Amino acid sequence: MAGIRTFIALEMPVAVKRQVVFVARHLSHLGQMRWVRSEGVHLTLKFLGDVEENRVVDIVSAVQQVASKFQPFALSTAGLGGFPRLESARVLWLGVEGDLEQLRILQGRIAQKLEDQGFERERRPFFAHVTVGRARRKPVRAIAENATKWRAVNFSVDRVSVMKSTLRPEGAVYTPLGYGMLEGGGSEYPGSDLQIVS
Helices 100-116 and 56-67 meet at what angle, rounded to 10? 140
pLDDT on residue 121: 87
For residue 193, give the DSSP letter. Answer: G
6 band by pLDDT with thresholds 50, 70 and 90: very high
For residues 23-35, average pLDDT:
83
Q: Is 198 within the bounds of a domain?
A: no
75-86 pLDDT per residue, tens:
999 989 889 888
Q: Is 193 within the bounds of a domain?
A: no
φ, ψ (nearest 5 deg) of residue 17:
-60, -40
pLDDT on residue 71: 95
Q: Is 188 within the bounds of a domain?
A: no
pLDDT on residue 75: 98
Q: Is 194 within the bounds of a domain?
A: no
Query: Quick one: CA dihedral 171, 44, 75, 134, positive or negative?
Result: negative
| pLDDT, averaged across the chain | 87
Please count the structural domains in the chain: 1
CATH number of the domain residue 86 falls in:
3.90.1140.10
Most confidently modeled range among 6-10, 82-86, 141-145, 185-189: 6-10
Min mean pLDDT across 125-129, 140-144, 178-182, 194-198 is at 194-198
For residues 27-32, average pLDDT:
78
Domain span at 22: 4-181
Q: Which residue has the higher pLDDT, 2 or 84?
A: 84
pLDDT on residue 143: 72
The helix or strand, by DSSP H or E, that contains position 108, with its residue range, turns out to be: helix 100-116
Instruction: Flag whether the pTM goes above 0.75.
Output: yes
Q: Is 24 within the bounds of a domain?
A: yes
Q: Which residue has the higher pLDDT, 146 or 106?
A: 106
Alpha-carbon separation of residue 23 from 46, 71, 82, 96, 100 (angstroms): 25, 31, 13, 15, 23
181 band by pLDDT with thresholds 50, 70 and 90: very high
For residues 30-51, average pLDDT:
91
Dist. CA 35–CA 111, nearest whole Å: 28
91 band by pLDDT with thresholds 50, 70 and 90: very high
Q: Is 187 within the bounds of a domain?
A: no
pLDDT greater than 60 at residue 14: yes
